[in-house]
Chain A
């Protein structure tokens, strides 16, 4: 399937700055997590979103708090793009009581339902039915909300891809399926694991629109998402957009990335989504270089503040082990 180019519809300066800021937030947040992880202070493991900023930001720029998103194990970028608090996120990754999930979820389960962020998800392919469910609520309640399912190329071969998209299609649900094709499912190339040449081709099987865009071009993603979100809000049902992208880091932190080829260096420099967006904004005189630098610096400071906040935050109290399992649970001799 041909890659649809951006029409380069001119963004307002305000919208452009907002999007640039979100992209910078994701990049700096992930770069800092990368550095901190290497020092060994973070529990567990993390999957970083750096390199894919244009996808989350291009899509979420059309959403507000009443719209839902489902995410993946590589979920920090979706959280930030959907408006989750940086300090709460960083504290969650540290496992601290002040984390968005009180330290009970961690990197793979960061969520903020009040922002419509229905959780990063440790299960590959977990999001398809979940997004359909959020879309079903919107349809039943007729509240004009949409649901977005972010998923990777690995999940595109999971059975839930079929069940979730088919359900959304037959029920005409306001759901947008966003494939983040970063080329590798863990260490396995997309081409090996997928019988299709394009994830978007699979949309035809569900009679829904499928498009491929350059996932490094935030404008292309933004414009494609605009079409899909509009369709969904108009009651015209789901769409699938495949964003061709690349992750700057490994599948998880510590992955030596031996499976990657020479393309890696190009992605870190000439194909970089933030550099590309920056060049566009300055060339088109939408935002000045000075303003972009200022945004960038402010974001760096904000991320550093988030790290400081997380570091000085307390661990969860021991009684937190037993709470939040149920809303209410009465068992004679039980705990809640």
Chain B
């Protein structure tokens, strides 16, 4: 049965269900339980992560399976790689994706490559959960969206959910997937509510979701920007332009077919991605359509992305950094013609 719960609750529920189903699932990260060895923080008061997303899990599963780590990402992310390779199914929380600088070797050179380097004789069923996203006034080192970086690394799968329901199903898939997955949670979506089914369900990777059907224009949007695209689509509908909004949900693997089919139908493509624009998921999808869908296009491919800058702190600047429905409308205006849009 479906209920209305938040994105954060969806994460929590997915982990809880996975841990109930398989005793090899463990969770580790900085304060994911919280208050290790602090007497009065052993139960309800334990943090459950800096955002409280994993709250309650330590009461249910104990500190042998919900492991607080030192602030030492190379150490515990590296440990999670071989914990996975030797028989566990760990979920490691990299608190902010920006912290990958401290443990990129463990993810890129160890976890991602183990199976290939060993000729297929090892597997790494590891999920790295990590927060991303701007708009939290968290400045340049706590706000990036680095999914493009991981998408570029063979051996890793990348999921970027945009709704509570997708989040739960994709996270359960990630945890029970036999390959390493980097799972992106937009911190500004944690309070978003949506309908979510009870119980275990998995959303297969490499299967995009069409969040809105339309025939005049395709917008492929990633993560939270799906909602930017949907808002723009509402506005465009008022002008008689029917927009199809495609949410890839996973960037690796990428559902090329759904994107190409949509562009074949609409002839126009806008990509909305809040990551920086160079060598990004947006340019990757753009290249895909230019390569395999060029004949479908009636207009140039357009991207609405962050600029090639770090994420600024000042709200006045950060609001300029992010894509907005207005920026999408401006681009569509260039594609389809001002009289229709503005």
- By a beta-carbon cutoff of 8 Å, the part of chain A in contact with chain B is 68, 70, 99-105, 109, 111-114, 118-119, 121-123, 126, 128-134, 136-138, 140-141, 159-160, 162-164, 166-167, 170-171, 323-334
Contacts and interface: CB of A to CB of B under 8 A. Distances in A.
Contacts of A121: 110
Interface stretch (B51-59, B65-73, B162-170): B65-73
Given A104-B119, A327-B179, A332 B258 contact: yes
B119 A129 contact: no
A216 B115 CA distance: 34
B292 interface: yes
Contacts of A112: 121
A111 B122 contact: yes
13 contacts: A109-B117, A109-B118, A113-B85, A126-B105, A130-B81, A133-B83, A160-B78, A164-B75, A167-B75, A170-B70, A324-B120, A327-B179, A330-B205
Contacts of A113: 85, 118, 121-122
Nearest to B155: A325
Contacts of A128: 75, 78
A122 B106 CA distance: 12
Contacts of B72: 162-163, 166-167
B86 A133 contact: yes
B105 A123 contact: yes
A104 B79 contact: no
B206 A331 contact: yes
Nearest to B76: A167
Nearest to B78: A129
Of B70, B118, B178, most buried by chain A (CB within 10 Å of CB) is B118
Given A133-B83, A166-B75, A331-B206, A140 B64 contact: yes
B137 to A, nearest CB: 30
Nearest to B73: A163
A165 to B, nearest CB: 9
B136 interface: no
Given A126-B110, A329-B253, A332-B258, A137 B86 contact: yes
B77 interface: yes
B83 A323 contact: no
B118 A326 contact: no
Nearest to A171: B67
B110 A132 contact: no
Given A132-B75, A167-B79, A101 B86 contact: no
A109 B84 CA distance: 18
Nearest to B36: A170
A114 to B, nearest CB: 7
A49 to B, nearest CB: 19
A163 B75 CA distance: 5
A129 B157 contact: no
B114 interface: yes
Contacts of B155: 325-326
Nearest to B65: A140
A253 B258 CA distance: 51
Given A109-B117, A327-B177, 18 more contacts: A101-B119, A102-B120, A103-B119, A119-B114, A129-B78, A129-B106, A131-B82, A134-B86, A136-B79, A140-B24, A140-B83, A160-B78, A162-B72, A163-B74, A170-B70, A324-B116, A325-B116, A332-B206
